Copies of this chain bind each other. A is one copy, B any other.
Amino acid sequence: MQKEKLRQLLTDIREGKVKVENALEKIQNLPFEDLGFANLDHHRSLRKGHPEIVFCENKTPEQVGEIFKRLSEYNNVLGTRASTEMYEQVLERLPGAVYHPVGRTITYENEKIVLPADESKHILVITAGTTDIPVAEEAIETARFMGNHVRSLFDVGVAGIHRLFNNKHHIDNANVIIVVAGMDGALPSVVGGLVDKPVIAVPTSVGYGASFNGIGPLLTMLNACAPGVCVMNIDNGFGAGYFASMVNK
């Protein structure tokens, strides 16, 4: 609608309703004009072509509820790092909202998400251990919310590498692979060496001792010897799901 306002202005000039100097000033300010509620980023969805995402951590349940309500008028909305208290506030305002307790996300579909007919072009999410599953679930839910088929393969870490090989056909069939791992963070290196697909590595803060809340696996992944591996922030399942969705499309 910015464009419409601009078109009107130009038409006004042409029709002599507005002076050149006045128009000059208006146009210079146009892209900087205050859109009122711009910071809530309706604008963003236009610019970036995606549904709205709310990082819920450090917000009050009421704030999360209100933000969902306003954003949901025109868009699908995904909330990450959400507590059950936050979900209750959202549910009160948006009865169709759904909570995913493992990955701690809330989704609301203003418009029903339709996955592509062809399931073969899918994202595979792998974890090294069972404690990495919450981060993996955040990635899975994000990628699904953005319209991707997602499959998963949990607890196939390198300590028992046969578990990975028993599932090699799953790895071979995926289009993009997310690998979530804590502790030694060695799994993305191995997966990256087995396939010729983009591998998105996510270190987790699970672990003890010299894992240092995820610094250990983060460094391992940055240093991955296999090419084709990129790295997300510690525990950032959302980021991995979002990036994988971009690549899958």
The 8 closest A-B pairs by CB, nearest first: A209-B234, A186-B186, A230-B230, A209-B233, A159-B226, A210-B222, A159-B225, A216-B219
A10-B20, A11-B20, A158-B190 provided; 19 other pairs, C-beta below 8 A?
A: A6-B24, A7-B21, A39-B156, A43-B163, A158-B158, A158-B225, A159-B189, A161-B161, A190-B190, A200-B230, A209-B235, A210-B234, A216-B220, A216-B223, A217-B220, A218-B222, A222-B231, A227-B238, A230-B232
- Chain A positions within 8 Å of B, measured between CB atoms, are 3, 6-7, 10-11, 13-14, 16, 20-21, 23-24, 27-29, 31-35, 38-39, 41, 43-44, 47-50, 53, 57-59, 63, 128-131, 154-163, 165-169, 183-186, 189-190, 192-198, 200, 205-212, 214-236, 238-239, 242-243, 246-247
Q: Contacts of A209 on B, CB cut-off 8 Å?
A: 205, 214, 222-223, 233-236
Q: Are B160 and A44 in contact (CB under 8 A)?
A: yes
Q: How many copies does the complex hold?
A: 8
Pick the contact of A159 from B21, B193, B212 — CB < 8 Å?
B193
Minimum Cβ distance to chain B for residue A226 (Å):
4
Minimum Cβ distance to chain B for residue A139 (Å):
12
A24-B10, A131-B58, A169-B29 given; A189·B193 CB < 8 A? no
Report the nearest B residue to A239, measured CB to CB.
Answer: B227
Q: Is the interface of A mostly helix, strand, loop or mixed?
A: helix
Q: Are B225 and A53 in contact (CB under 8 A)?
A: no
| In the bound complex, CA of A239 to CA of B221 (Å) | 12
| In the bound complex, CA of A221 to CA of B210 (Å) | 9
Q: Are B216 and A163 in contact (CB under 8 A)?
A: no
| In the bound complex, CA of A103 to CA of B33 (Å) | 29
| In the bound complex, CA of A90 to CA of B221 (Å) | 32
Q: Are B193 and A161 in contact (CB under 8 A)?
A: yes
A3-B24, A59-B130, A158-B189 given; A215·B219 CB < 8 A? yes
| In the bound complex, CA of A230 to CA of B203 (Å) | 13
Pick the contact of A246 from B167, B198, B235 — CB < 8 Å?
B198
User: Chain B CB within 10 Å — which of A29, A206, A232 has the most?
Assistant: A232
Q: Contacts of A247 on B, CB cut-off 8 Å?
A: 198, 247
Report the nearest B residue to A232, measured CB to CB.
Answer: B230
